[in-house]
C-alpha cells in the first residue's frame, strides 16, 4: 500500500487560502472596473453639462452649481479609482504570496509521488528478479535431472522453425 503524503492537510489548507485570495483579487478587479466606469460616466456627464448662457441669472447659477457638483463627484470618483487600484495591487500581492506558498507544498507533493512511484517500481523489479531467479533454478534443476524443456532441438534433426517441434 502506498504511503500517504504527510503534508496533504497543509496542501488543502494552502489551496483554500489561495482560492480565497483569488476571490478577493477578482472582487478587487470588479470594484476597480466599477470605479473606473463611474468616473468615466461622471466625466461624460460633466462634459455634456456645457456652459450654456441661459437667459436668466437663476438658471445660469443652477448650471454653474450643477457643473461644480459634477466636478466634485468626478474628483471623488477619481479618488475612488486610485483607492480601488491600490486595493487591487494589494490583493494581487496577497494572491501571489498564497500561490507561492501553495506551489511550495505542491512541489513537495510531486516529489513524494515520484518517490512512491520509484519505490513501487523497485518493489516490482524485486518480484520480477525473484521470479527470474526461481525460473532459472527450476531450469537448472530440470537440466540436472536430464530433461531440458527449454533446450533447442538437436541440429541433426529437422524441426519446424515456428514452433520448434521436431518433424
| Per-residue model confidence (pLDDT) at position 99 | 96
- Mean pLDDT lowest among 8-12, 29-33, 53-57, 154-158: 154-158
Q: Name beta bridge partners: 166.
A: 159
Q: How confident is the model at residue 160 (pLDDT cuts 50, 70, 90)?
A: low
Angle at 33 between CA 27 and CA 38, to 5 degrees: 125
Q: What is the mean pLDDT of residues 60-71?
A: 85
Map residue 148 onto helix, strand or coil.
coil
Q: Between residues 159 and 104, which one has the greater pLDDT? A: 104
Alpha carbon distance 141, 44 (integer Å): 98
At 58 the pLDDT is 81
pLDDT tens per residue across span 15-39: 999 999 999 999 999 999 999 999 9
Higher pLDDT, 65 or 85: 85
CA distance 22 to 14: 12
Q: What is the mean pLDDT of the chain?
A: 86
SS3 at position 43: helix
Please name each of the domains of the chain with its CATH number.
8-142 (1.10.287)
**Top-confidence residue, 137 or 154:** 137
Does residue 141 have a pLDDT over 90? Answer: no
Q: Is the pLDDT of residue 60 over 80?
A: no
pLDDT > 90: what percent of the chain?
60
Q: CA 128 → CA 104, 132, 150, distances in Å?
A: 36, 6, 20
**What is the predicted pLDDT for the residue at 3?**
77
**What are the φ and ψ backbone dihedral angles of 166, each rounded to 5 degrees?**
-65, 150
Of the two residues 150 and 92, the one the predictor is more confident about is 92
pLDDT at position 105: 94
Give long-range contacts, CB 8 A cutoff, 24+ apart: 130-136: none
Amino acid at each position: 500500500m502506498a504511503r500517504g503524503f504527510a503534508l496533504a492537510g497543509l496542501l488543502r489548507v494552502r489551496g483554500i487560502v489561495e482560492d480565497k485570495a483569488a476571490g478577493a483579487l477578482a472582487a478587487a478587479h470588479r470594484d476597480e472596473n466599477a470605479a473606473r466606469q463611474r468616473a468615466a460616466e461622471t466625466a461624460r456627464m460633466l462634459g455634456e453639462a456645457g456652459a450654456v448662457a441661459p437667459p436668466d441669472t437663476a438658471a445660469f447659477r443652477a448650471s454653474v452649481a450643477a457643473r461644480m457638483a459634477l466636478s466634485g463627484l468626478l474628483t471623488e470618483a477619481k479618488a475612488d479609482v486610485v483607492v480601488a487600484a491600490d486595493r487591487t495591487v494589494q490583493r494581487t500581492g496577497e494572491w501571489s504570496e498564497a500561490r507561492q506558498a501553495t506551489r511550495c507544498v505542491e512541489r513537495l507533493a510531486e516529489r513524494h509521488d515520484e518517490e512512491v512511484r520509484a519505490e513501487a517500481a523497485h518493489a516490482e523489479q524485486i518480484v520480477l528478479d525473484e521470479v527470474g531467479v526461481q525460473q532459472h533454478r527450476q531450469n537448472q534443476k530440470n537440466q540436472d535431472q536430464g530433461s531440458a524443456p527449454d533446450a533447442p532441438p538437436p541440429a541433426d534433426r529437422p524441426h519446424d522453425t515456428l514452433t520448434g517441434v521436431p518433424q
